[in-house]
Structure 1
């Protein structure tokens, strides 16, 4: 099932999320719905706060590479980034919760992360390149951070009117969204 994606300005996007346990209600369905939602919106990652849930869950699927090889696809539950290493590099990032805004963001190319997968198997992985960047972006979501928090104060000031328009629902997307400041028409 495709779920609505929470737009910029919703308080859930600024919350540090809570761990969950194996008994979290309908977790398998939730993960499946998150993948459906992400694919429908043409994303490469989606975190639970983006669908309104303040829990430490996110998914990543970078899709096939240029040679048709499977990409990096994983479920991350109760993740903790242990280490970010390497020389930071800039990449133009976007976010399903902040449509039509893209900014060059600096991130380190390597991460060491510990997490549980959808079967509650614990992993500690070293990840690099584009999958590491997507993990860092989604991890930021469960820490209550957005990629726009990483831009300069001047740049954020320049984006303010666009961000306000998103929170009010004054934007068109190809996927369903929930807007925190959308006026109710009677």
Structure 2
């Protein structure tokens, strides 16, 4: 087969597609979401989510009214707060895996580890995670984010709840994740 100068070769086509994908990825739309935390225990906070294209989601949070130390922080399956944080369901887990640390291969998508609270009862944190997209079939929009009373043992504590909840204790604050304009 003879190619004319105007017919793309597989190499030039591959190069063109690579350029196009890079262009589209670099010009992908930024999606933002927010969850306003509320609690009957005086915990308040705002959690901001942002994701550009298919990049990991960035979570920025400010929370006050917590006891000092580590607190489990998770995306839960349901955006239902009709019975407070108890009606948010289990950790978001579309792949049906056991509980784990954010860096573990085996983990719930909603397992975001712990947030660290200072002596003044406040925390400001940033988390970047690839398993909590804001778009697509496994989007976390409409689900809930929950702060727990105790540290998450990341599935490694040996407690009967370690592989399901990280033995992170009660739910002290939650908010529904909604799109932000």
What is the TM-score of this pair, normalised by structure 2? 0.29
> When you count strand as a share of all residues, which structure comes out higher?
2
Larger-gyration structure (1/2): 2
